[in-house]
Structure 1
Amino acid sequence: MTTPRSAGVLLAVAALVATATGPGTPAEARAAAYPGPGYVTGDIGVHDPTVVKRPNGGYLVAHTGDGIALKTSADRTAFRDAGSAFPGGAPWTTAYTGGSRNLWAPDLSYHDGRYWLYYSASTFGSNRSAIFLATSPSGDSGTWTDHGLVIESRTSDDFNAIDPNLVVDDQGRWWLSFGSFWSGVKLVALDPSTGKRSDSAIRSIAGRGGGAVEAPVIVKRGSYYYLYVSFDLCCRGAASTYRVMVGRSTAVTGPYLDRDGTALTSGGGTEVLAGHGDVHGPGHQAVFTDTDSDVLAYHYYADNGAALLGVNLLAYDSAGWPYVH
């Protein structure tokens, strides 16, 4: 997925990333450490992508769009349009979308012989929002059965119920992280038999004092759970300032700390990827394991403002912190 590089260059990139995330490092030094997105072709116009490796081979992508847009790929390089999860619309969401068919920021996974899709319904700038769940035996357009509301937020709440991500911990427990702006990123426990909430507790796992943090993704690698989030501003075309940050914890519920030991609940975060060259505002990341590597998928904006699919491989430095290559 990446332009071939020698081992020496990869080590140099790792070293640059490892040193480029400390406090006070100039933005241009950080940007110099980042490779371009790996080569992809076909239908690569996406926003807020999520990717799952299919059990019979190939890849399924879901992203923001009318009825949740779908794409497929046989090889992680060539992508094609595959319709939408709900081609007939999702009228149960209109109380949150103001009547729009556009649904946001899905999360795809595969468990127990089914595809699981958590997705968001909202309007821009509002926390009158909701996360819903649907499942499908194949992942194909029109095969999704909606199972209803998982969690909602109202204007009186201090959180925003969008940007879901499912993680299954080492004990087999299911958790849903979510959140955008307001008081930050949250975590709730789920019942694995239903995919719905198992209790009323809402845990805080990242925040910037009301500032721009959203799009959580939690993955377990080695001894740590890694919490990836997007900082700063999306949805402004080439003027977007989105960037991918990470913290880690030995417990899925946190506390998540960055490389310097600052808690993500106190605004901490170690930068993994930011804008560079003609790659603007990379973010709303997904992380999945493939046969060759962990993979970071995200959207970024081209110079003309188009939102495109970005894919890079992930590796880990000697201290266990992820970097792109």
Structure 2
Amino acid sequence: MTTDVVSGKRILTTLVVMGISEGLRSIVTVSETSQRLMRFSLMLLRIFLVVIAAALPLAAQFRADDPYPRIHDPSTVVTEGGEAWCLSTGVGIHLLHREADGRWKREAPLYREYPAWHKVEVPENKEHLWAPDIIRLKDKWFIYYSVSSFGSNHSAIGLVTGKTLDPKSKDYGWKDEGVVIRSRRPDRFNAIDPAVILDEGKLWMSYGSFWEGIFLIELNPDTGLRKSDDAPLKLAMNPEIEAPFIHKHDGWYYLFVNWGKCCRGVDSTYEIRVGRSKTITGPYLDKDGTDMKDGGGSVFLGTQERFIGPGHASIFNEKGKEWLVHHYYDKDRRGRSDLRMLPLTWKDGWPVVE
């Protein structure tokens, strides 16, 4: 909870309780012992109300000057009906849209009931679905997401499709399309953190977390599912790597990844790294010419003052202007994860944030 919110609610609580106290004293004549009991009771009431105020849901704690919501692992931002939409990690997959005043509104989660295969594939999953990504193919939205648990590569990437993101539309609804890819021991990869890109008629999905790094598979653009059982192609490696995203710009393919650890609030060590290639399948080299499969990756964005551990990058093009979409851990808010969008430009063939 922000300091301003806590302070404001404490002041309001104190004034209300003091008013009650003075009113009671002015109309009630009691013994000295009773007065002491009354003062003690009112003191307890003050403490109780302050504790209640401090326990208000985080959803009510956004600062008036802050348009960005609490979020983790934001998807690619897309547009429908003139509005921007975004998905994120959470129970049922969180769905948000940006309103006319620039603020983001959280809608009901996509899933109310999970497909049976979730518990069959990953019985350890705690109902949080991780790191979704989204793409429009023909007349449908294809949403990819992760079913997993911390510290394990017993994971699966699922797919759900629907005609619209707008819950108010008569066409709103989602269809489970099943498993895209799964991982188990002794697989070299962890099937989480999907990111999809349509390139020259071919649909690709990068994914991966820790284990042996970031991998790439081709998908069927008609079904959104895996095109073949060919071995996944390795793109990048680091002992602590995840959250890939591929973006094409001026004939180059740019692979963004995260190094470090997430999900530790102000102690998170996430940083975004990047390499580029002339083909989507690699090799991706950093600014020094080191292959990302060999541990290469130029630092693109790291911790800056209150903005700790930036991660899970994607790029949103709005009216010809590009934005870097990511989350970070806010030092001024006890390390909670928030959405952030920074203007993105290009210099000497590499991305730069303003």
Classify the TM-score, shorter chain.
Answer: 0.7 to 0.9
Counterpart in 1 of 2:84? 59
Secondary structure (helix, strand or coil) at the match of 1:241 reads coil
**One-letter code aligned to 1:167:** I
Is residue 157 from structure 1 mapped to residue 187 from structure 2 by the alignment? yes
Gap change, CA 1:91 and 1:100, over 3 Å in 2: farther
Q: Say if 1:50 and 1:106, in contact at 8 Å, map to a contact too.
A: yes
Residue 152 of structure 1 and its aligned partner are, at CA, apart by 0.2
**1:45 aligns with one of 62, 67, 70:** 70
Q: Which residue of 2 aligns with 1:254?
A: 282
Q: Distance in 1 between matches of 2:198 and 2:291?
A: 22
Deviations 1:57-94 (A, max 9, x none): 11111000001011111359310111111023344312
Mind listing any 5+ residue stretches in structure 1 that lack a counterpart?
A: 1-38
Q: Alignment partner of 1:315: what SS? A: strand
In the other structure, the counterpart of 1:204 is: 234
Structure 2 equivalent of residue 106 of structure 1: 132
CA RMSD of aligned residues (A): 1.7
The residue type equivalent to 1:126 in the other structure is S
Separation (CA, whole Å) in 1 of partners of 2:338 and 2:123: 24
The residue that corresponds to 1:238 in the other structure is: 266
* Aligned residue number for residue 339 of structure 2: 309
After superposition, the Cα gap between the structure-2 partners of 1:75 and 1:97, relative to the gap in structure 1 and judged at 3 Å, is: farther
Task: Give me the identity figure in percent.
Answer: 39
SS in structure 2 of the partner of residue 89 of structure 1: coil
Structure 2 CA distance for aligned equivalents of residues 138 and 70 of structure 1: 12
1:2-13 maps to which residues of 2 (within 5 A)? none
Partner of 2:308: 280
After superposition, the Cα gap between the structure-2 partners of 1:275 and 1:43, relative to the gap in structure 1 and judged at 3 Å, is closer
Q: Are 1:97 and 1:121, in contact at CA under 8 Å, matched by a contact in 2? A: no
Do the aligned partners of 1:262 and 1:268 also contact (CA within 8 Å) in 2? yes
Higher normalized helix content (fraction of residues): 2
SS at match of 1:193: coil
Figure out how many residues of one structure are paired with residues of the other and give that number: 283
Cα offsets for 1:207-229 (capped at 9, x unmatched): 12xx0111110111111011111
**Unmatched runs of 5 consecutive residues or more in structure 2:** 1-63
Alpha-carbon shift at residue 140 of structure 1 (Å): 3.9
Residue by residue, what CA displacement relative to the aligned partner does 1:179-215 show, whole Å, maximum 9, x if unpaired?
001110000011111111112221000112xx01111
Instruction: Report Cα offsets for 1:91-144 as digits up to 9, x if no partner.
Output: 431241525211000001222121110000000010000001111111245712
2:118 is paired with a residue whose SS is helix
Counterpart residue number, 1:194: 223
When residues 314 and 43 of structure 1 are mapped into structure 2, their CA distance, relative to the original with a 3 A threshold, is closer
User: Partner residue of 1:227?
Assistant: 255
Q: Is the counterpart of residue 116 in structure 1 residue 139 in structure 2?
A: no
Partner of 2:206: 177
Q: Is the 8 A contact 2:77 2:325 kept in 1?
A: no
Q: Which residue of 1 aligns with 2:12?
A: none
Once the two structures are superposed, the pairs formed by residues 86-97 of structure 1 within 5 Å of their partners are 86-95=111-120, 96=122
* 2:218 is the alignment partner of 1:217: no
CA distance in 2, matches of 1:75, 1:107: 24
Does structure 1 residue 268 correspond to structure 2 residue 293? no
Q: Give the whole-Å Cα distance in 1 for the aligned partners of 2:203 and 2:191.
A: 17
CA distance in 1, matches of 2:284, 2:242: 15
Please state whether the residue corresponding to 2:108 is helix, strand or coil.
strand
Q: Which SS does the other structure have where 1:84 is aligned?
A: coil
Letter in 2 for 1:316: W
Matches of 1:227 and 1:66, distance apart in 2: 28
